[in-house]
Amino acid sequence: MKLTPCGWAFFVGPNRGGGRFKRETTTKYTPNMLRIAIQAKGRLNEQSTSLLAEAGIQVAESKRKLISRAEGFPLEVLYLRDDDIPQAVAMGVADLGIVGLNEVAEKGFNVEQLMDLGFGGCRISLAVPKGTAYEGPEFFQGKRIATSYPNILMRYFAERGIQAEIHRIEGSVEIAPAVGMSDAIFDIVSSGGTLISNGLVEVEKVFISEAVLIANPDLDADKRRECQQLTFRFNSILESRGMKYVLMNLPKERLQEAISILPGMRSPTVLPLAQEGWCSIHAVIAQELLWERIERLKEIGAEGILVLNLENMIR
């Protein structure tokens, strides 16, 4: 058992560069099996396990477990604090990780960023007390700023030649100005509700984040292949999100007009109907285009329009 600088204990299996494997902290351990680290509990846990489930991979609940074997794919799941996932992946304790891009950027470990996962969206912003005369980032010159993300903030200030006092604090960053600990904060914002309820105003959106899939850069060929299978499944799921499958009947003579309205994967599927002069069209439409396109299709005589959810889109 080894204790890392950030304080979590992890094991290094026999095929992972030596170290002792502490059996009582785990349920299963399979040498050389692809291993993914996900957040044990917190904002990203549920959506990480749901994404895996949508990809046909069932994982046990993280409660009281450090590691468990998934079903539906040769994969082990390691449950960690989000702060520790970039390091675990960089060191090869896990091959893959699902974590906020904010943690990847802050920790700066050498990991490969494979894909954005479309959840956990947030930003890290500078915020000042309401009523502060703010005219631009120069405001922060010489000011005290409380944050859990000092490295991202340091880079932002360095690019602008701003010298500020950055105070690293963990948790409840938003109360720092009210208790006189800082002049401003640099913290995660999602709806903005926390800032408002603490009398703060967001003045600079510095870093945009969402959950990402990261990988150890030195995966062997077998693991890289499995990893590609996994990203293929994830990509299919993400591509089908926000897409609808639409079926409708249309007079044949309006077909060309309908095709120009419908954005298909290649072109819409057209099937003959038993009724002379009519056909059925099937197409995939992005949710945001749906109603506008349906209105245009109705104008050219489309009838019996069905809109279905799309589970997966395999390209």
Rounded Cα distance, 142 and 161, in Å: 11
Nearer to ligand PRT, 82 or 204 (CB): 82
287 binds, among Zn ion, ligand PRT, none (CB under 5 to 8 A by kind): none
**Which of 76, 95, 103, 183 is the binder for ligand PRT (CB under 6 A)?**
103
Nearer to ligand PRT, 48 or 240 (CB): 48
Which of the residues 207 through 246 are near ligand PRT (CB under 6 A)? 209
The pair phi, psi for residue 181, each rounded to 5°, is -80, -25
Whether 255 and 280 have beta carbons less than 8 Å apart is answered as no
Q: Does 106 sit near ligand PRT (CB under 6 A)?
A: no
CB of 10 vs Zn ion, minimal distance in Å: 16
Whether 125 and 204 have beta carbons less than 8 Å apart is answered as yes
**Which of 13, 97, 100, 177 is the binder for ligand PRT (CB under 6 A)?**
100
Q: Residue 48 carries which DSSP code?
A: H
What track of x and - describes contact with ligand PRT for positions 135 through 174 (by CB under 6 A)? ----------------------------------------
Q: Which of 47, 45, 41 is nearest to 238 (CA)?
A: 47
**Which of 13, 97, 120, 177 is the binder for ligand PRT (CB under 6 A)?**
120
Q: Which structure tokens are listed for 58? A: 């069932």
Q: How far is CA 13 from CA 18, 31, 79, 92, in A?
A: 6, 7, 16, 10
Q: Which amino acid is at 152?
A: I
147 binds, among ligand PRT, Zn ion, none (CB under 5 to 8 A by kind): none
Nearer to ligand PRT, 36 or 297 (CB): 36
Rounded Cα distance, 35 and 58, in Å: 14
Q: How far is CA 234 from CA 72, 99, 237, 284, 305, in A?
A: 14, 15, 5, 19, 30
- Minimal CB distance to ligand PRT: which residue? 100
Whether 51 and 117 have beta carbons less than 8 Å apart is answered as yes
CB of 70 vs ligand PRT, minimal distance in Å: 20
DSSP string, 92-130: TSSSEEEEEHHHHHHH----EEEEE-S-S-EEEEEEEET
Q: Which stretch binds ligand PRT (CB under 6 A): 4-12, 64-72, 77-85, 132-140?
A: 77-85
Other C-beta atoms lying within 10 Å of the C-beta of residue 94 = 28
- By CB under 5 A, name the binding residues for Zn ion: 82-83
122 binds, among ligand PRT, Zn ion, none (CB under 5 to 8 A by kind): ligand PRT
Q: Does 81 sit near ligand PRT (CB under 6 A)?
A: yes
120 binds, among Zn ion, ligand PRT, none (CB under 5 to 8 A by kind): ligand PRT
Q: Can you give the binding site for ligand PRT, defined by CB under 6 A?
A: 39, 42-44, 81-83, 100, 102-103, 120, 122, 187-194, 209
